Structure 1
Amino acid sequence: MTHLVLALTAIALNTFSGTAAVLRWSVILPGMRRAGVPESWLVFPIGVLKLAGAAGIAVGLAVPVVGLAASIGLVLYFTCALYTHVRAGDYGAQFGLAFVFLGVAAANVALALT
């Protein structure tokens, strides 16, 4: 049950975040600029990778190895996102959210391996 709740949380978070990136939601643009991320990256790779991760975790509810792979991919993605924010010296809200997203993805990996 815990894994299901965590998987659904990861799906919801990454679907929302990926959609916000693809739609270039104005709320996220200042944080992306502070981190030095080009706006042209919002659709691909940022939005597409988050949406693919969410879809992979959803498929993983039926095919666990796919969910594990998607969760590992999101761990890698959010590790790189945190590195980007640290390198730019940006410790704003999006930096904090990246930690939350990383934690959810990492917990999905841990539960998938148990």
Structure 2
Amino acid sequence: MSATVVVTVLTAAWVGFSGLSLLRRAQFVVEPLVQYGVPRSWWAPLGVAKIAGAAGLLIGLAVPVIGVLAAAGLVLYFLGAVVTVLRARSYKTVAFPLLYLAPVTATLALGLTA
């Protein structure tokens, strides 16, 4: 199994779990969103975006352009999350969106080199 497959599958699982946790309104996900001032009306679309991105990463294993587009979209998503955390001045929690941004960025880089 190649590094691309391993990184892609693990990243998709990580992002997909986050999306499902948001849709299920898991306390560890929604508490920070309240603190950051993210409107509740955005929660479902944000969760769906994460799940769609995770699915796109997996589809990208068969159709590489889909994977690259999904990874690029997720990079933008998590960059937006970093900005949201910083705007809320929650510097102690900025590591959390970075924990998603890093593997998504790695997945994008691997997809672009494949």
Bin the TM-score by the shorter chain: over 0.9
Where do 4+ consecutive residues of structure 1 move more than 6 Å?
Answer: none
Equivalenced residue count is 112
Instruction: State the match for 1:77 in structure 2.
Output: 77
Instruction: State the match for 1:40 in structure 2.
Output: 41
Per-residue deviation, 1:27: 1.9
Instruction: State the match for 2:3 in structure 1.
Output: 2
Instruction: State the match for 1:49 in structure 2.
Output: 49
Return 5+ residue gaps in structure 2 as ranges: none
Instruction: State the match for 2:12 in structure 1.
Output: 11
TM-score, scaled to structure 1: 0.93
Provide the C-alpha distance between the structure 1 equivalents of 2:15 and 2:92, rounded to a whole number of angstroms. Answer: 19
Q: Percent identity?
A: 39
Computed over aligned residues only, the root mean square deviation of the Cα atoms, in angstroms, reads: 1.1
TM-score, scaled to structure 2: 0.93
Provide the C-alpha distance between the structure 2 equivalents of 1:92 and 1:49, rounded to a whole number of angstroms. Answer: 25
Return 5+ residue gaps in structure 1 as ranges: none
Instruction: State the match for 1:88 in structure 2.
Output: 88
Q: Deviations over 1:37-67 (max 9, x none)?
A: 11221111x1011001001001001001100
Instruction: State the match for 1:100 in structure 2.
Output: 99
